[in-house]
Amino acid sequence: MPIPPSYSLRTILEPLRERLCTLCYRIVAAGLLLTLIAPNIWALGPPQQLEFRGQVLFPAGTVPPRRWITVNLLAVGTPFYSRTVAQRDGRFRFKKLDPGSYTLLIAIPRVGVVTRSVEITPSFADAKGRIEHQFEFSAEQLELLLHPENRATVSVRELQISFGARRDFEKAQARLRRKDADGAIAHLESAVEQSPEFLEAINTLGIIYYQRAEYDQAERYFRRALEINADAVEPLVNLGGVLLTQGKSKEAVEVNQRAIEALPHDALTAAQLGFSYYLQGQYGDSIMYLDRAKELDPAHFTSPQLTLAQIFLRLQQAKEAIEELDEFLKLRPDSPDSSKARELRQRALEAIEKQADRQQNGE
């Protein structure tokens, strides 16, 4: 069955602009790798704010003595993030959250960070607007998913960042928590003026401009960050995402290949490389990396299931497409893409029925 005309390359790029290019930056004080995604796709009108209650369960001995797990919650598509410390039993809570897709970063002191995607939307809430989720990890899962904490010696570049620049960076983070992007930009530009090689501030500026759909400006900031440190992972992933968003798929493949070499067990890098291969028409490679993204984080906010379904429809594998769409609708029932997924599912069902009729008629 040929893919429906409405899903041409141009229309495929539009949802990619909404669900792709997670942008990373460091919160210097915490030393954590945090992720944000481009323009928020949640258009639910005035949202009912929700409460998210979770519990993290690690194997005995994972958390060092007298250390506390830190939980960071980042909204997909906005600069908003929040942070809390889990109780001894691993329980934590975030209140007054707008419905949407979020990234949860669970930081184990002196060990590393585990990333999970979570949907905080009405379909998963109880009558009081509360969502509860338990995150349990085996030793084998941690070995695969844990991003080790970078405790290397501080570089000369980092030592040269002035106190004033660091203060401005901290103030920018506070502005972002209050969803004040303009205020954050002012502090970040001040930080970079004081310390021109302040990579984290430059990278964060790129993030904000990406979220404003100023992709050329975002790309310039990410490239500038990589000029300062060619081995920096965060701007590398970000550059791969913004190239993908702009439809520069050839260079996006090259950049995202470098990113996955640096982060082989990261769902985002796998998803971005899968999408890059998709736009290049390399469906076999695309399927491999999108499946990898799902394996690492089944509910990942980039929705690899949708692109996999489109690939299977192109390959006239309607049953496989339906499986992907059913998985997507189960994991993200409130997504604005859910109507598109149901439409694709109906087309796939019709294709199966037509094929069955042809077989029955001996065609």
DSSP labels for 285-312? HHHHHHHHHHHH-TT-TT-HHHHHHHHH
Is 90 exceeded by the pLDDT of residue 325?
yes
Least confident of 9-13, 89-93, 210-214, 345-349: 9-13
Calculate what percentage of the chain has a pLDDT beyond 90. 64
Please, which pLDDT band fits residue 165 given cuts at 50, 70 and 90?
Answer: very high
Summarize the confidence of residues 188-211 as an average pLDDT: 94
Q: Give CA–CA dist 100/82, Å, rounded.
A: 14
3-state secondary structure of 348: helix
Q: Which helix (H) or strand (E) holds 338?
A: helix 338-360
Please, which pLDDT band fits residue 363 given cuts at 50, 70 and 90?
Answer: low
Is 60 exceeded by the pLDDT of residue 20?
no
Summarize the confidence of residues 175-195 as an average pLDDT: 92
Helix 233-245 with 215-228: angle, nearest 10 deg: 150
Q: Which helix (H) or strand (E) holds 147?
A: strand 147-148
* Sign of the alpha-carbon dihedral angle for 15, 20, 25, 30: positive
Q: Give CA–CA dist 69/11, Å, rounded.
A: 42
The one-letter amino acid code at 76 reads V
Q: Give CA–CA dist 74/102, Å, rounded.
A: 5
Q: Which helix (H) or strand (E) holds 55?
A: strand 50-57
Of 80 and 235, which is predicted with more confidence?
Answer: 235
Domains of the chain: 1-20+248-357 (1.25.40.10), 27-40+49-151 (2.60.40.10), 154-230 (1.25.40.10)
Q: Give CA–CA dist 161/280, Å, rounded.
A: 41
Please, which pLDDT band fits residue 155 given cuts at 50, 70 and 90?
Answer: low
Q: Record the tokens describing residue 99, joined without a space.
A: 């419905």
Task: Please report the pLDDT score of residue 149 as a whole number.
Answer: 66
pLDDT in tens, 261-318: 999 999 999 999 999 999 999 999 999 999 999 999 999 999 999 999 999 999 999 9
Please, which pLDDT band fits residue 17 given cuts at 50, 70 and 90?
Answer: very low
pLDDT in tens, 67-91: 899 999 988 877 677 889 999 999 9
Task: Please report the pLDDT score of residue 109 as a whole number.
Answer: 87
Task: Please report the pLDDT score of residue 111 as a whole number.
Answer: 86
Decide: 56 and 71 in contact? Cβ < 8 Å.
yes
Task: Please report the pLDDT score of residue 25 as a whole number.
Answer: 31
DSSP labels for 181-215? HHHHHHHHHHHHHH-TT-HHHHHHHHHHHHHTT-H
Please, which pLDDT band fits residue 159 given cuts at 50, 70 and 90?
Answer: confident
Task: Please report the pLDDT score of residue 10 as a whole number.
Answer: 35
Helix 9-19 with 233-245: angle, nearest 10 deg: 150
* Sign of the alpha-carbon dihedral angle for 149, 150, 152, 157: negative
Of 66 and 137, which is predicted with more confidence?
Answer: 137
Is 80 exceeded by the pLDDT of residue 32?
no
Is 80 exceeded by the pLDDT of residue 96?
yes
| Average pLDDT of every residue of the chain | 84
Of 11 and 143, which is predicted with more confidence?
Answer: 143
